[in-house]
Amino acid sequence: MSKRIAILTSGGDAPGMNACIRAVIIACQKAGHELYGYLHGYNGLVNQEYISLSFDTTHNLIQQGGTILHSARCKTFETDDGAQKSAENLSKLAIDTLIVIGGDGSFRGLKHLSTFWSGQTIGIPGTIDNDINGTDATIGYYTAIDTAMSSIDKVRDTADAFERVFLVEVMGRHAGFLALNAALSSAADYVLLPELFEGCEQELDNIICQIKAQRALKGTVSFIVVVAENVWPGGLSALSTALNAKGIDDVRPVTLGHVQRGGSPVSEDRLLATHLGAYAVSLVGSENTNIMVGEVNKLPVVVPLDTCWQNKPLNSAQVDIIRSLMNARYD
């Protein structure tokens, strides 16, 4: 039966959000559903700001980074009044199903909204951090790994030329997925991750021990430490100062920053976004509500929304690889 569906993108933007919007538009059109796009994250819901979405919006969309619906944070939506107003606006537009592409914060918001609105709610995981439980990967994660990897490759060139130590900060909020994979794929020499952090003194000892061992083996060489954001108290400058104090000079900090959120999505993100968008629309009108769609072992899954922000562990096989290849101690 034909339904009225709304979609929005919320929180940190991620490459592949547009590819997902495209898939949702096409799947809705094929199923005979009407589709509306709320603008600027949850602000659009609070302010009843939306556009109609149809086939003509989809041209050249799959390869565009960012999100045509724009994304934002919205403090008002976090209040009961904001959620109530949003629920009223959805009812005024006679929306049956709301689809939200975003991260764990956006899903908490969606859950909050569902206490005020009885329509169907479906989350699609979109964040470069990959910190969403219940899915192997999130939309944007693979592109961000590639972006970080190629940036670290470039840092390596200059680090090699000057035989310097570089500290490269990679995003991930409080999760180490992006830093771990960026470090492994760029052959970094050491990685600091929130999940494996052994404390400042121990990590400093490990890094210095490894730098000295490499220098003893090969002479002065470049040394790249990938640092997950929020892991080192005081950030890269504090870590740089701590290394200087222990006799490691000429340390250069590089923060990759928001470049990791941009760019045309790589094929893995386009495929994931397309699968999840089409799958979400296939669930419209079903009993499933307050859910997130994800992929596990390449197969679509449905998980309860409130399990998505539970802790998601790093891949244990990759952790073993770091220990054997990168963070090895030579003492």
Which residues form the catalytic set? 129
Q: How many residues bind ligand ADP (CB under 6 A)?
A: 17
* CB 128 within 8 Å of CB 137: no
174-233 binders of ligand ADP (CB under 6 A): none
The set of residues, in sequence order, having a beta carbon less than 8 Å from that of 138 and lying 6+ positions away, is 14, 103, 125, 126, 127, 128, 129, 130, 131, 132, 272
Torsions phi, psi of 330, nearest 5?
-105, 10
Shortest Å distance, C-beta 253 to ligand ADP: 25
d(CA 239, CA 202): 13
Torsions phi, psi of 173, nearest 5?
60, -105
Is 12 one of the binding residues for ligand ADP (CB under 6 A)? yes
The residue from 6, 7, 10, 274 that contacts ligand ADP (CB under 6 A) is 10
Is 274 one of the binding residues for ligand ADP (CB under 6 A)? no
**DSSP β-ladder status, 97-102 and 4-9:** parallel
Is 73 one of the binding residues for ligand ADP (CB under 6 A)? yes
CB nearer to ligand ADP: give 96 or 306.
Answer: 306
Is 70 one of the binding residues for ligand ADP (CB under 6 A)? no
Helix (H) or strand (E) holding 182: helix 177-185
Shortest Å distance, C-beta 106 to ligand ADP: 3
Q: How far is CA 208 from CA 11, 155, 193, 219, 328, in A?
A: 38, 20, 17, 15, 12
Q: Which stretch binds ligand ADP (CB under 6 A): 96-104, 214-222, 235-243, 248-256?
A: 96-104
d(CA 278, CA 251): 48
21-60 binders of ligand ADP (CB under 6 A): 42
Residue whose beta carbon is closest to ligand ADP:
105
The residue from 15, 16, 65, 102 that contacts ligand ADP (CB under 6 A) is 102
Catalog residues that contact ligand ADP under the rule CB under 6 A: 10-12, 42, 73-74, 77-78, 102-106, 108-109, 112, 127
